[in-house]
Amino acid sequence: MMVFFIKCFQFYNTFLFWLWVNLADAAPGAGIDAPGRSYTPVAYSIGTEPVINGLVKYAGGPLKLDAANPVVTLDYGANVAGFPFVEVSSVSASGAQIELKYSEPFGGLKEPWSNGPFLYVNGLMNSFRTETFNVSSTGPTTSFFIQGGQRWQTITLLSKESITINGVGFRANVDITPINELPGSFSTSNDVHDGVWGLGARSLDLACVEAKSQPSTWEVTKEGALVRGQYPAISLRAVGFKNYEMSFSTKIVTGGVGWRVAGGANGGYGPYFVLTTGGPKLLSTSPLQLRPNSLIAGYGFSIINQQLLPSAPAQNFDLPNAVADNEWYRITTAITSTGYNISINGTHAVFVPSEPFKPYINPGIGTSALTDGTFGFGPFLNQAAYYRDVEVIGQDGSVIYTNSLTGDDVYEEYGVAINPRAVCLDGSARDREIWIGDFVHTARMIAVSTGRYDYIESMIDFEFDWQFLDGPGAGLVPMQAPMGIGKQYRAALYPLQFGQTDYHFFFLVTIGDYYTLTNDLDLLSKHWNGTKFLVETLISRYLDTATNLFAASDAFWFTAQNTQHATAPTALFVIALKKLVDIAQALGDTETADFYTTLSQTISKAINDQLWSPALGAYRMSLDRLGDTALLATAFTIRAGIANTTQATTGIQKLSDLFYQIGYKDSTAIGNGPGTQLSPNVQGFLLESLFLAHIQLNVPASVVVPVIKNLLEVYWPHMINQNQYRTGSSWEYLFPDGSPGIGLFTSLNHPWGGAPTYIYTDFILGVRRERNASTGEAGWVFDPVWEVVEGLGLTWAKGKMPLPGGKGWIEASWSGEKESTEMKITAPEGVKVEVRQRGGAKRRELL
Ligand SMILES: *[C@@H]1O[C@H](CO)[C@@H](O)[C@H](O)[C@H]1NC(C)=O
Ligand SMILES: *[C@@H]1O[C@H](CO)[C@@H](O)[C@H](O)[C@H]1NC(C)=O
Ligand SMILES: *[C@@H]1O[C@H](CO)[C@@H](O)[C@H](O)[C@H]1NC(C)=O
Ligand SMILES: *[C@@H]1O[C@H](CO)[C@@H](O)[C@H](O)[C@H]1NC(C)=O
Ligand SMILES: *[C@@H]1O[C@H](CO)[C@@H](O)[C@H](O)[C@H]1NC(C)=O
Ligand SMILES: *[C@@H]1O[C@H](CO)[C@@H](O)[C@H](O)[C@H]1NC(C)=O
């Protein structure tokens, strides 16, 4: 999920300023819990520009760059992540400057900012996708910052004398296990499916990070906070401040210093000031450079536009006096009604008028007034500076904030603390935030591939740890938490990062899925109060009791393009309630079980009464959109048990209204065109519903197979079969031509797009958990969905399903035709699997 651009899908050319800094050898990440190994390229080519064809195998030999052939293209074969490094074996006495560039798609290598920068949140990684190393001697140079995901890299020699590199790669910050070594596996007679299974599995290895594996991007020292060029991080203690005067002392290490005032709580959107010195600059390939001894004032995310996220055109001012590196200065910014008055060491320097920023005010992201909001610190690309002794004076002249920026408290207040927990992020490079709704697919993918059930537990613990127990958000859990913020500051993120209402519903589904998968009541009983509190909050805040459908003025619905009284989110809540009934019963909380059961029946009836349209032959999208159908309205009413066989059948047939070129749109309210986004996240939910419609509602295979076949054999393979985009992982969006659906900005490592991974294991291999309707117990079944298997023309499948608690795996295979099928299964002692044979033959149980 990436919320900012949902409604503002536009490209912006980004040709602005570009500098770089090299503070490379500061032992980045020393002492973190990360694997000790490195990821190295598999192929390379040396020439004058990035190339994709004709690469040769890289075996670690010397790479010589000189003025005639200054560029080496490096291909890692699939996405990798970590701290970039080069090992230099020969460099001239005058040294050399090399520019490193990282990209998920190949095309990023040809852009000045690669497939970034990512200037809207500090994700504990480099906000920029390029950096210059100033190499003066042989040996290793390592970046201070993580790069969270890239298949491609270039190194460009910017200085004249040649350089020889005898080692290059990424010091790992995540542990990428080769697909064939995971505890979970899947393969079939058609290897297209094997590849699609692997997309989700690999995406997890990059997007799920161990506790304490992603170090801070700030370095707090006795001299103050040393901050290298990155997206500015804001104080979460000051989000309610307005009309103040903020001062700090700074010593610029290289190039310049940057800060904000009047910034929004959600990442700091607002004014941003960058001050440059007259000191030495590193070389770069950018066509635009910041002028020395000047102040550049922007508004929005940065002083540049980045991909989809616009910023006000930057204003440039010359400084009245030159500013030098390695000297301390005291910089004061006074917020006035007409602008920002900046002085340096008590002398007036620049007045920045705020009038030109007005059109860029965006209360959804920043604050609603140019005078209101918090402050923050972060130099621009290729700069670095120390910051200390922050003091804020309020409107009445009193001191309202001080911080020396020399203590460890700084990290959590500014949201740049090393990640305290194991968490799964939405994207490994862009969108490095904890989106709990998107985790609903991730959790299921973990179960069938990496077997890292501990990540699911950690995410559930995290959400309840952050749950508000009182205040305006009482009961809610975060939907989009950043990694580095201290829990004590979470109220500053309310309501924005608690407000994607159906993401709470998805979290409840994840709790239910976790129970189905593990039977682990210890964790769930610990959080049962919190779970009930969340449910109660969602009902009282968002359920419209006049209709028994969900609608509220402060509710936002990802699953219904934000329309109220919508089928999909309301049905999603029923899915969640039904799962929670199982937990309530297991915990002996019959009162809650009865309440949830009755409520789910009431809501189901409300959906059938008000939102089923016989004329459409499908559920309407919402009461606001009576004439439209929506993919998730069909998918979730099936999964919730709201749709009957006829409704499911015609609903699936009506999906043809949503089909566009290679896949299915979210709803008929969305037009057709080259920019129409086709979501693997949304279609992933559809996939499961198609199987459930067939096995639970007896919807004929002839109805579901064509859709399944298109999704698995046409839509998803676009993530595999285009070399220029392939990363080995599932993507965020696709365009109808099969290319990444947010252009260069698309995350090409997004677990939310990897649902087929669990669909294959559950329904094609056929090893899954099912709850016995009479006993209520969940157990393992080996039950391939034969008619779909036949429809896909598969003659064999084999694979492994990891068991919770590191207790090994179930290994299963089947082969043969309808009349003579061989099914084999082995499981650790004590694990019971009910085997359902093909053609309705008698069942047998394996112990
Ligand atoms: C690059 O490194 C050399 C040697 O350490 C140093 O003299 C030079 O100032 C550096 N250049 C920049 C722009 O930092
Ligand atoms: C600026 O003021 C600081 C004290 O805040 C002082 O240490 C420093 O020398 C001054 N710098 C210049 C260049 O005057
Ligand atoms: C800015 O501050 C200076 C003093 O540093 C003052 O003389 C000037 O009037 C202020 N400008 C505005 C527009 O407030
Ligand atoms: C849940 O809440 C009840 C009533 O407030 C309380 O008695 C009980 O101890 C709580 N249980 C847990 C596990 O927090
Ligand atoms: C399914 O629901 C529709 C709409 O309520 C109803 O007309 C139809 O009779 C139902 N079909 C079955 C088999 O119950
Ligand atoms: C449910 O459990 C009962 C009792 O163990 C068993 O007889 C029955 O076959 C099970 N039903 C299914 C659908 O597996």
**Span 691-748, pLDDT tens digits:** 999 999 999 999 999 999 999 999 999 999 999 999 999 999 999 999 999 999 999 9
- Looking at residue 307, its pLDDT comes to 66
Closest ligand to the CA of 842: 6
Respond yes or no on whether the N-terminal peptide bond of residue 569 is cis (omega within 30° of 0). Answer: no
Q: Ligand 4 centre and the CA of 533: distance in Å?
A: 11
- Looking at residue 775, its pLDDT comes to 86
Closest CA to ligand 3's atom 4: 348
Q: Ligand 1 centre and the CA of 37: distance in Å?
A: 30
On whether the CB atoms of residues 720 and 790 are closer than 8 A, the answer is no
pLDDT at 372 over 80: yes
Ligand 6 atom at minimal distance to the Cα of residue 781? 14
Mean pLDDT of the chain: 93
Q: Is 553 in the pocket of ligand 6 (CB under 6 A)?
A: no
Closest CA to ligand 1's atom 3: 136
Q: And the tokens for 4?
A: 């900012």
Q: Which residues pair with 208 in a beta bridge?
A: 424
How far is Cα 131 from Cα 283, in angstroms, rounded to an integer?
A: 10
pLDDT at 847 over 80: no
pLDDT at 16 over 60: no
Lowest mean pLDDT among 13-27, 313-327, 537-551, 802-816: 13-27
Q: Ligand 3 centre and the CA of 370: distance in Å?
A: 18
How far is Cα 467 from Cα 455, in angstroms, rounded to an integer?
A: 18
Q: Is 343 in the pocket of ligand 3 (CB under 6 A)?
A: yes
pLDDT at 477 over 90: yes
Q: What angle do CA 239, 243, 248 make, to 5 degrees?
A: 75
Q: Is 345 in the pocket of ligand 3 (CB under 6 A)?
A: no
For 139, left (φ over 0), alpha (ψ -120 to 50), or beta? left
Q: Is 190 in the pocket of ligand 3 (CB under 6 A)?
A: no
> Any idea which residue has 């670690």 for tokens?
60
Pocket test for ligand 6, best of 768, 769, 775, 837 (most atoms within 8 A of CB): 775
Among 159, 160, 379, residue whose Cα is nearest residue 282: 159
Closest CA to ligand 3's atom 7: 348
Q: Ligand 3 centre and the CA of 333: distance in Å?
A: 11
Q: Are strands 844-846 and 139-142 parallel, antiparallel or unpaired?
A: unpaired
Closest CA to ligand 2's atom 12: 329
Q: What is the pLDDT of residues 820-842, one digit of tens each?
A: 899 999 999 999 999 998 876 55
Mean pLDDT of 170-196: 96
Per-position DSSP letters for 782-803, written without gaps between them? E---HHHHHHTT--EEEEEEEP
Q: How confident is the model at residue 305 (pLDDT cuts 50, 70, 90)?
A: confident
- Looking at residue 213, its pLDDT comes to 96
Q: Could you give the percent of the chain with pLDDT greater than 90?
A: 89
Question: How many other CB atoms are there within 10 angstroms of residue 488's CB atom?
Answer: 11
Residues with CB under 6 A from ligand 1: 95, 134, 136, 280-282
Q: Ligand 4 centre and the CA of 160: distance in Å?
A: 70
pLDDT at 567 over 60: yes
Question: How many other CB atoms are there within 10 angstroms of residue 605's CB atom?
Answer: 12
Q: Is 820 in the pocket of ligand 6 (CB under 6 A)?
A: no
Q: Specify the higher pLDDT residue, 280 or 474.
A: 474
Mean pLDDT of 390-416: 98
How far is Cα 144 from Cα 216, in angstroms, rounded to an integer?
A: 10
Among 413, 415, 411, 433, residue whose Cα is nearest residue 424: 433
On whether the CB atoms of residues 120 and 309 are closer than 8 A, the answer is yes
Closest ligand to the CA of 391: 2
Among 446, 99, 392, residue whose Cα is nearest residue 243: 392
Q: How far is CA 625 from the centre of its chain?
A: 30
Q: Is 698 in the pocket of ligand 5 (CB under 6 A)?
A: no
Q: Is 348 in the pocket of ligand 3 (CB under 6 A)?
A: yes
Q: Ligand 1 centre and the CA of 162: distance in Å?
A: 17
Mean pLDDT of 20-42: 62
Lowest mean pLDDT among 7-11, 208-212, 280-284, 650-654: 7-11
What is the identity of the amino acid at 455? Y
Mean pLDDT of 169-183: 95
- Looking at residue 192, its pLDDT comes to 98
- Looking at residue 12, its pLDDT comes to 25
On whether the CB atoms of residues 478 and 499 are closer than 8 A, the answer is no
Q: What is the pLDDT of residues 760-805, one digit of tens each?
A: 999 999 999 999 888 888 999 999 999 999 999 999 999 999 999 9
- Looking at residue 817, its pLDDT comes to 87
How far is Cα 735 from Cα 789, in angstroms, rounded to an integer?
A: 28
675: phi then psi, degrees, rounded to nearest 5: -95, 5
Residues with CB under 6 A from ligand 2: 249, 327-330, 345
809: phi then psi, degrees, rounded to nearest 5: -155, 165
Q: And the tokens for 208?
A: 């799920």
Q: Ligand 1 centre and the CA of 260: distance in Å?
A: 29
- Looking at residue 311, its pLDDT comes to 87
What is the identity of the amino acid at 295? L
Q: And the tokens for 654?
A: 């009506």
Q: Which residues pair with 334 in a beta bridge?
A: 245, 341
670: phi then psi, degrees, rounded to nearest 5: -95, 130
Ligand 3 atom at minimal distance to the Cα of residue 347? 5
Q: Specify the higher pLDDT residue, 655 or 31.
A: 655
Closest ligand to the CA of 772: 6
- Looking at residue 843, its pLDDT comes to 53
On whether the CB atoms of residues 237 and 324 are closer than 8 A, the answer is no
- Looking at residue 128, its pLDDT comes to 95
Q: Ligand 2 centre and the CA of 331: distance in Å?
A: 10
Q: Is 645 in the pocket of ligand 5 (CB under 6 A)?
A: yes
Q: How confident is the model at residue 30 (pLDDT cuts 50, 70, 90)?
A: low
3-state SS, residue 572: helix
Q: Ligand 1 centre and the CA of 138: distance in Å?
A: 15
Q: What is the pLDDT of residues 85-123, one digit of tens each?
A: 999 999 999 999 999 999 999 999 999 999 999 988 889
Closest ligand to the CA of 280: 1
- Looking at residue 844, its pLDDT comes to 55
Q: How far separated are the first and last CA of the chain, in Å rounded?
A: 42
Q: Which helix (H) or strand (E) holds 605?
A: helix 590-611
Q: Ligand 4 centre and the CA of 594: distance in Å?
A: 19
Q: What is the pLDDT of residues 601-630, one digit of tens each?
A: 999 999 999 999 999 999 999 999 999 999
- Looking at residue 23, its pLDDT comes to 33
Closest CA to ligand 3's atom 1: 341
Q: Ligand 6 centre and the CA of 589: distance in Å?
A: 24
Q: Ligand 2 centre and the CA of 20: distance in Å?
A: 26
- Looking at residue 846, its pLDDT comes to 57
Mean pLDDT of 411-429: 97
Per-position DSSP letters for 192-252, written without gaps between them? HHHHHHHHHHHHHHHHEE-TT-S--SEEEETTEEEEESSSPEE-TT-TT-BS-EEEEEEEE
Q: Ligand 6 centre and the CA of 796: distance in Å?
A: 28
